[in-house]
Amino acid sequence: MNPDACRSRRIDLLNDSTVRKLPRRSVALWPIGSLEPHGRLPLGIDTFIPTKILESVALRTSDAWLMPPLPFGYLFKYRAWPGSVGVPAHALAECFVSACGGLAQLGISRLFVMSGHDENREAALTGLREAQDTFGVRSVYCGWIDLAMTLLPQLNASGHEGHGSECETSVFMHLFPDLPLPADLANDRKAEVRPPAMGDDDLFAPQECGTWVRQVDAKTNSRSSTGSNDAASSDKGQRIIDHIVGRACEIVGALRNGD
């Protein structure tokens, strides 16, 4: 996609006179992410992916306006690793409340948030709920990968999807072909083809396993990613992104048109 294509849909490029004239049912699109290690992938991949997705959504959905990305998130699991820069959960929640207050002042009462970092969820929802109570801003929150959960198991060759592994790498390869992956694969390992075990850091682990709260010690672990990305491909990434953009457009349309 031409990087200049969505200039007219970026809210940060509008002036205050233009913003005052936005349609009443306008929807703000807000990509949020993190800065943390993902094995072979860039530290900012959690921000890059939802930003690219929401650029496409802004172009395909009427009255949708792209906000600047929030590049920092709440970090817990990989907090001790080099390259991890995060904010406290309470600060992230307050950021959502304040941002929604500013949107309400502009007359924008609908917000679609897409995150690239799973640990943002609790803080974001806390802030968004308070923002609706305080400012009447209606919102939808999702992780980008949430919108492809019916598709990912069909594409994933190893049966495992974790931090910086096959599907996320495929999406990176499709969206950022100008940012090649390092040739050194020493930090990778092939994932054993087996069902996810109890406590695995795996997207496909059954919900009946519960949510395991634990950190990854950088001193005793050699990898900041999980699973394998040996079977990652740009074509696979395109299928995932096409699916997600379609679902996101449907959600934003419903949010815009709802009472």
Q: What does the mean pLDDT of the chain come to?
A: 88
> How confident is the model over 63-67, as a mean pLDDT?
95
Chain centre to alpha carbon of residue 90 = 19
- With contact defined as beta carbons under 8 Å apart, do 116 and 31 qualify? yes
> How confident is the model over 17-30, as a mean pLDDT?
90
Q: Which amino acid is at 178?
A: D
Q: Does domain 8-257 have CATH number 3.10.180.10?
A: no
Place of tokens 């860039």: 42
User: What is residue 43's three-state secondary structure?
Assistant: coil
- pLDDT score of 186 more than 70: no
User: What is residue 113's three-state secondary structure?
Assistant: strand
Of 147, 91, 142, the C-alpha closest to 121 is: 142
> How confident is the model over 190-216, as a mean pLDDT?
70
Residue 70 pairs with which residues in a beta bridge? 32
Percentage of the chain exceeding pLDDT 70: 90
Q: What is the pLDDT of residue 122?
A: 97
Better pLDDT: 156 or 90:
90
- ∠ CA 229-231-233, nearest 5°, is 95
Q: Which amino acid is at 104?
A: A
Q: What is the pLDDT of residue 1?
A: 55
- pLDDT score of 255 more than 50: yes
Better pLDDT: 85 or 156:
85
Place of tokens 């007359």: 107
> How confident is the model over 196-225, as a mean pLDDT?
73
Give the strand pairing for 27-32 and 110-115. Answer: parallel
- For residues 162 and 143, give the distance between their C-alpha atoms in angstroms, rounded to a whole number: 14
* Domain definitions of the chain by residue range: 8-257
Model pLDDT for residues 88-130, shown as the tens digit of each residue = 999 999 999 999 999 999 999 999 999 999 999 999 999 999 9
- With contact defined as beta carbons under 8 Å apart, do 6 and 12 qualify? no
Q: What is the reported pTM? A: 0.89
